[in-house]
A = this chain, B = another copy of it.
Amino acid sequence: MVTKNQIKLVTSLQQKKYRTKHGLFVVEGIKTVDELIDAGYVAYGLFVNTDEMFQKYPEAKIVADDILKQMSGQVNPSGVLGVFYIPKAQKVGNHDWILALDAVRDPGNLGTIIRLCDWFGIEDLVCSEDTVDCFNPKVLQATMGSIARVNITYLDLGEFLHETSLPVYGAFMEGKSIYQMILPKKGILVMGNEANGISMEIEKCIMEKVSIPQFGNQTAESLNVATATAILLNEIRRG
């Protein structure tokens, strides 16, 4: 049995202010729920709407289809909905490359970038406070479960970059070609906002500006931030 208050709580988690207030977030789908459980995330509650799903998640509550639909942010709920405690971010390491985001706003882009971190073994993703929340349901959907394996920390990015001992690289349209650079074993790569790139405040902390060469008639104005991140992380890892 699910109370009206529980339904209301779950529904409220679509919004960041309620996620922060309750320290909870909501995900849907077997894949992401399983990956979070495997990674040690603590479930506040699991909700399913079929006996089959209940067999898989015996600790879940069975709810009627229309109740699950009410709790879900999706038009077609996927059969299991999990409410998890937001974990404390672990200390940011300094033994490898770190990816830093300066005001990335699009949930799909952040989700794709988290998935890229997982692929390229980037353990730490640090985000400026005005980057979209990584527990936003649209971000979680785009991560395809990778959220469970990347340590994401929201912080004062200017302060963080000011205090770090690692070399700081930033992606700029007018930077030096990444093909011509010899990259160190560890460092920080900063990617900027979709429309405005890296802010002036953060630019001051950049040691080296990098760019991805353009080919052909050079008519394209820019690359999407997620695809640019893909290319730069690949360049860092390929050595």
Contacts and interface: CB of A to CB of B under 8 A. Distances in A.
Nearest to A31: B221
Interface string A205-228: 000000011111111111110111
Contact of A237 (B118, B145, B215, B222): B215
A221 B34 CA distance: 14
A179 interface: yes
B221 A145 contact: yes
B224 A115 contact: yes
A160 interface: no
A115 B220 contact: yes
A44 interface: no
A53 interface: no
Contact of A146 (B115, B145, B220, B227): B220
A73 interface: no
Q: How many copies does the complex hold?
A: 2
Contact of A121 (B119, B121, B216): B216
B121 A223 contact: no
Interface residues of A, number: 38
Contact of A217 (B121, B216, B227, B234): B121
Interface of A: 108, 112, 115-116, 118-123, 144-146, 149, 179, 212-224, 226-231, 234-235, 237-238
Q: Please list the 7 inter-chain residue pairs (A to B) with the smallest Cβ-Cβ separation, ordered nearest first.
A: A121-B216, A121-B215, A227-B230, A118-B220, A119-B220, A230-B230, A231-B234
A36 B222 CA distance: 17
A219 B118 contact: yes
B179 A112 contact: no
A146 B144 CA distance: 28
The CB with the most chain B CB atoms within 10 A, among A112, A118, A146, A212, is that of: A118
A213 B238 CA distance: 9
Given A112-B226, A112-B227, A227-B230, 12 more contacts: A115-B223, A119-B220, A119-B223, A121-B215, A122-B216, A123-B216, A149-B219, A212-B234, A226-B226, A228-B230, A234-B234, A234-B235
A238 B179 contact: yes
A234 B234 CA distance: 9
A235 B213 CA distance: 12
A139 B129 CA distance: 31
